[in-house]
A and B are shown apart, each in its own frame.
Chain A
Amino acid sequence: MNDYIVFFDSGHEPTLELLGGKCASLVSMTSAGMPVPPGFAVTTAAFDHFVDGSGLRAEIHARLAEIDPDDVASVDRVSAQIRDAIESREVPDDMHGVLRSAYAELMARFADEVPVAVRSSATAEDLPDASFAGQQDTYLWLTGYPSVSHHVRRCWASLYTSRAITYRLRNGIPDEDLSMAVAVQKMVNARTSGVAMTLDPSNGDRSKIVVDASWGVGEMVVSGQVTPDNLLLDKVMLTVVREHLGDKHAELVPDAQSGALVEREVEQARREVRCLSDEELHAVATMAKRAEKHYGCPQDVEWALDADLPDGDNLLLLQSRPETVHSAEPTSPSAPTTTSGTSGFSLSGLTASLTSC
């Protein structure tokens, strides 16, 4: 058993060295009950075995040694040669089919082949200039194994762009242990999406969860282009306290052909109904609660229900970030102050509550 491939929902230890920062985070979120769009990591072990087993490591080392740091042309030439080698070299025999079968395993989860995104997942993303280190490539709407395989190699190769090589030379970062993981992840095909906040933003009440939801991809909710369904839930019981249905006149839907989102009008019948069921709403709120617990402070969660996934397994977490407006306030917004005692029973409190009505 090798560890070249790690699926996000495998329950694997989210180790940074093996998975890179992005994939480690995707694995740990899935384990914590916040499922991200399904996919897998092509690990640093896979990259290492590729460059070691194919003899590339020595070759790269030798070519890098040829560089004259002051000669931009020599950097460009070496960069091109290395990247070309990474993109074209056969993988070692014992790695044959590893990526292909992982891709097939992912696709087997859906009725049809679905587009994926391929992203680099660096082990040093926390470096202040990670982008200069050439570790933030993202390729969207890729369909079919040849394209996926090609873009995984492009991510690998991005370690050796001219800019990355120069950056390392200037900052004295050694090349020896350089490695990278790559995320292959399903593109979200949002039937319904929205945001969930683990407090009531109108008054900071933390006993509530507010869910905004609309048809299609969530961008129109976030940017305020549609009036979404607005639901206020009790955070403990997850029951609906208040519900307001928006008109949801338009939706953004992915167009796999063009690899872009297209806006279309929502037909009347769908505008008038809530865009998520009771069960789905419950799932969204439960996930938002988990995110709040996981991160230890009120969260603002972006979520989507993916049309390609079966009901019950189709809720995906796209992003969770701390809510900043109210989070600094004390947690009890309107703590009643009718009782004078601090322990045991105080009758004056009870009397006050009886005589106030």
Chain B
Amino acid sequence: MTIEQTMKSFPKPSEIEVPAGAEGWEQLYPYNLVFDNAPGGDEKFWFCDSQHWPTVFKPFETIGGEFAVKCLGQYNTRHLLIPPANGIEFKIHLGYLYMSPVPVPEEEIPARVPEFERRAGHYFQNWDSLLEAWHSKVRATIDEMEELDFEPLPDVVPFDDIVSGKAMDGSQTLMENYDRLIALLYRNWQYHFEFLNLGYLAYLDFFGFCKEAFPGIPDQAIAKMVQGVDMELFRPDDELKQLAVKAVELGLQSAFANPDDVEGTLGAVRDAGGEEWLAAYDAAQDPWFNFTVGNGFYGHDKYWLEHQEIPLGYIKDYIRRVDEGQDIMRPVEELTAEKERIVGEYRDLLQGEARQHFDAKRGLAATAYPYVENHNFYIEHWTMGVFWRKVRDLARVFVDAGFWADPADMLYLNRNEVRDAIFDLVTGWAVGAEATGPHYWPAEIERRRGIIDALATRRPQPALNTPPAQITEPFTMMLYGITTEQVQQWLAGDEAGDDDAITGMAASPGVVEGVARVITSADQLGEVEEGEILVATITAPSWGPIFGKIKATVTDIGGMMSHAAIVCREYGLPAVTGTGSASTTILTGQRIRVDGNAGRVEILEG
């Protein structure tokens, strides 16, 4: 490394030019998340979490980032007292989320060790029973959330309430339910991290052991040794496959001519005598259709439950493949055998005490790690799916009251403004005068829309300020793939050009050549054709059915444990993740070569 390189820095937040039309953007976000209002903005090293928040936040959507990153921190800092690591500080700059890990001062680390061991030890020793309780807690929160209604207020208080002397007009329900919705979401985000940090910790411990015992062992080998083969994250996709197989068995293929017409398709199934299939379809929906094509953090994310043309389209495609004689089920037995081979071969390389350590650490990681993959369905998909549905219900109450035209417009208010707007609404209704909202919000929403659109024209800086010489914080490396090398690569930018190759993480092994299909939003998934290589900014779990069609995946964002990496290992497809620029460099139709062993992507021809 040359001196010049070590001196290189990312821009300071205060130096980045605000895109034209986005002036005043900082007013849209909570005061405590804006660099200008807090110390350290221009000094600390910040990296952009574009893995979870690849697009600009609308004001209401900051709730996911705030709850998630705050709750991540509390477990390190206050629950478990993880010796070297507190939480991750976070800010929003020009619409994107930036993070900065908070280390524990060297001198405070020893004192945390016994408390950490006592607390983490309790979890690891009682993993199964605590996890069972977790499922009940999370489920209860979701059930309670489902119960919350957001209904328009009646013209008059019902006579029964007069008779009973209730003496309340119903507006309190609207207000209480909104507060309750936020509180329940907060609760499940706290639960989200109850096991997550520990899951990563057990994985990191085994990871460190392997790197020492087998110098140079590929990261993906370690991942394969602890990964669950039968993950709940794959369950929604598996349900669709089973429905496709059933449809073929019952001879219902012709009913799926036009899955975009949901009612028509289900009606055609009924007319074809498919009662049994419809029963299975209904059963699969609860809970497995609480599945988003996005990542759960955005109000515009579509969920299968409300957009059944998506799962029905996938079922149609699976039906075609079954009819063509393809085996659409995941090769679970082969994957299990391969996992056992890998574990067995590494284990055989060790003897005596080292082998016992290997067994103990792998055993723990294999127990704790599946949570890291499975929790995602319960929180990001299911909880967030219900949450956004309720948010839309509330937004429709406002639409009916003339506050704004489209339920999605409410996302341009922050969550405290929504609270104020509810009071505005019920006040107008109560006093019998007009509410102010209909006169204020439409123009204000348009103004804010202009700012968000202007911010969205810019990709975020990958990081801000001067990076430390070495990045050692384990969670940052593990969760976000922020390593010393990665940061240097970002800094090197265009100069890095080793020939024409695009480089990233070697996330899933194998080498293939094929035609690229560049996808920048879930709405384009229908364009993907059999045998193509998927090139995307980022992928989501509900893209599962696509992975049965493609030959390899390349993403801009994500590490060894990103969704694309996990799914590709599961499907036995090569993957290169975290390339930074593949989706903007590669064009649909180009022949590319994906080397999932070396983390390289080459454009072969235009």
User: Is A341 engaged at the interface, CB distance under 8 Å to the other chain?
Assistant: yes
Q: Contact check, A354 vs B218: say whether CB atoms are below 8 A apart.
A: no
CA distance A155 to B82 in the complex (A): 76
User: Which candidate, B201-209, B245-253, B381-389, is the interface stretch facing chain A?
Assistant: B201-209
Q: How many A residues face the partner with a CB closer than 8 A?
A: 38
Q: A351 is contacted by which of B113, B212, B353 (Cβ under 8 Å)?
A: B113
Which of the listed residues B345, B349, B474 has the most CB atoms from chain A within 10 Å of its own CB? B349
Residue of A nearest to B224 (CB): A237
Kindly list chain A residues whose C-beta atoms are within 8 Å of the C-beta of B214: 205, 207, 234
Evaluate contact between A334 and B117: CB separation under 8 angstroms: no
Chain A residue numbers with a CB within 8 Å of B85 are 354
B34 is an interface residue with CB less than 8 A from chain A: no
Q: How far is the CB of B103 from chain A (nearest CB, A)?
A: 11
Residue of B at shortest CB range from A279?
Answer: B511
Q: A335-B350, A351-B117 are in contact. Are A357 and B84 (CB under 8 A)?
A: yes
* Contact of A236 with B345 in the complex, beta carbons under 8 Å: yes
* Complex partner residue of B213 from A232, A336, A341, A357, CB under 8 angstroms: A336
Q: How far is the CA of A336 from the CA of B205 in the complex (A)?
A: 11
In the complex, chain A residues whose CB is within 8 Å of the CB of B346: 207, 236
Residues of chain A within 8 A (CB-CB) of B220 are: 237
Measured CA separation A330–B359 after assembly (Å): 19
| A239 adjacent to B218 (CB under 8 Å) | yes
A257 within 8 A of B: no
- The segment from A50-58, A299-307, A342-350 found at the interface with B is A342-350
Cα of A335 to Cα of B350 in the assembled complex, Å:
8
Q: Which residues of A contact B117 (CB under 8 A)?
A: 347-348, 351
Q: Is the interface of A mostly helix, strand, loop or mixed?
A: loop
The answer to whether A332 and B345 touch (CB under 8 A), given A343-B356, A348-B117, is no
State how many angstroms separate the Cβ of A327 from the closest Cβ of chain B: 14
A353, B220: Cα distance in complex, Å: 20
The answer to whether A236 touches B216 (Cβ under 8 A) is: no
Q: Is the CB of A234 within 8 A of B474?
A: no
Query: Of residues 42 to 86 in B, which have CB atoms within 8 Å of A's CB atoms?
Result: 82-85
Q: Mark B194-231, 1 if CB is under 8 A from A, else 0.
A: 00000001101100110011111110110000000000
Q: Looking across the interface, which residue of chain A has its beta carbon closest to that of B473?
A: A357
The range of chain B's interface size is 35 or more
- Give the docked Cα–Cα distance between A111 and B412 (Å): 73
Contact of B360 among A207, A234, A242, A339 (CB under 8 A): A339
Q: How far is the CA of A117 from the CA of B598 in the complex (A)?
A: 41
Answer whether residue A241 sits at the interface, using C-beta atoms and an 8 A cutoff: yes
- For window 66-111 of B, CB contacts with A under 8 Å fall at 82-85, 109
Could you tell me which residues of chain A, from 263 to 287, have a CB within 8 Å of some CB in chain B? 278
Residues of B within 8 A of A342 (CB): 353, 356-357, 360
- With both chains docked as a complex, state the minimum distance between the C-beta of B207 and any C-beta of chain A, in angstroms: 9
Q: Do B218 and A353 touch across chains, with their CB atoms under 8 A apart?
A: no
**Which chain B residues lie closer than 8 Å to A237 at the CB level?**
217-218, 220-221, 342, 509
Shortest distance between the CB of A114 and any CB in chain B (Å)? 32
A297 at the B interface (CB under 8 A): no
B520 contacts the other chain (Cβ, under 8 Å)? no
Q: Is B285 at the interface (CB under 8 A from chain A)?
A: no
Chain B proximity of A94: nearest CB distance (Å): 50
B428 lies within 8 A of chain A by Cβ: no
Chain A CB within 8 A of B506 CB? yes
A335–B211 CA distance with the chains assembled, in angstroms: 10
Interface SS, B side: helix
Q: Determine if A234 and B218 form an interchain contact, defined as CB atoms under 8 angstroms apart.
A: yes
A331 close to B (CB within 8 Å): yes
Q: Is the CB of B511 within 8 A of A331?
A: no
Q: Cβ of A350 and Cβ of B201 under 8 Å apart?
A: yes
Of the residues B113, B351, B472, contact of A332 by C-beta under 8 Å:
B351
Taking CB atoms, residues of chain A closer than 8 Å to B501 are: none
Is A250 engaged at the interface, CB distance under 8 Å to the other chain? no
Please give the distance in Å from A221's CB to the nearest CB on chain B: 23
| Contact A354–B354 (Cβ < 8 Å) | no
Tell yes or no: B364 within 8 A of A by CB.
yes
Determine the chain A residues whose CB is within 8 A of the CB of B472 once the complex forms. Answer: 357
Q: Closest residue to B365 on the A side, CB-wise?
A: A345
CB contacts (< 8 Å) of B598 on chain A: these are 239-240
Residue of A nearest to B127 (CB): A345
Looking across the interface, which residue of chain B has its beta carbon closest to that of A357? B472
Cβ-based interface call for B121 (8 A): yes
Given contacts A331-B349, A332-B349, A354-B82, contact A232 B216 (CB under 8 A): yes
Asked if A235 is at the interface of the complex by the 8 Å CB criterion, the answer is yes
Q: How far is the CA of A351 from the CA of B350 in the complex (A)?
A: 23
Our pick among A207, A330, A353 for the contact of B208 (Cβ within 8 Å) is A353
A335 close to B354 (CB less than 8 A) = yes
A355 to B113, CA, bound (A): 9
CB-defined contacts of B204 to chain A, threshold 8 Å: 353-354
**B414, chain A: closest CB distance, angstroms:** 37
Residue on B with the closest CB to A241?
B216
A10 in the interface, Cβ–Cβ < 8 Å?
Answer: no
Distance between Cα atoms of A349 and B472 in the complex (Å): 18
Residues of chain A lying within 8 A (CB to CB) of residue B134: none
A337 is an interface residue with CB less than 8 A from chain B: yes
Contact among B113, B221, B353 for A337, CB-based, below 8 A: B353
Is A206 in the interface zone, CB < 8 Å from B?
yes
Most buried by B among A337, A343, A354, A357: A354
CB-CB < 8 A to A346: which residues of B?
360
Q: Which of B345-374 contact A (CB under 8 A)?
A: 345-346, 349-357, 359-361, 363-364
- Interface: A186 (CB within 8 A): no
A239 and B361 form a contact (CB under 8 A)? no
Please measure, in the bound complex, the distance between the C-alpha atom of A28 and the C-alpha atom of B506, giving whole angstroms: 38
Report the 5 A-B pairs with minimum CB-CB distance, sorted nearest first.
A335-B354, A241-B216, A207-B214, A347-B117, A336-B212
Given contacts A235-B349, A345-B124, A355-B83, 9 further A-B contacts (CB under 8 A): A236-B217, A330-B351, A332-B352, A336-B209, A343-B359, A347-B120, A349-B357, A353-B209, A355-B113
Which residues of B are interface residues toward A (Cβ below 8 A)? 82-85, 109, 113, 116-117, 120-121, 124-125, 201-202, 204-205, 208-209, 212-218, 220-221, 341-342, 345-346, 349-357, 359-361, 363-364, 472, 474, 506, 509, 511, 595, 597-598
User: Can you list 16 pairs linking A and B with CB atoms under 8 Å apart?
Assistant: A234-B216, A235-B349, A236-B221, A241-B216, A241-B218, A278-B597, A331-B349, A334-B213, A335-B351, A337-B357, A343-B359, A343-B360, A344-B360, A345-B360, A349-B357, A357-B474
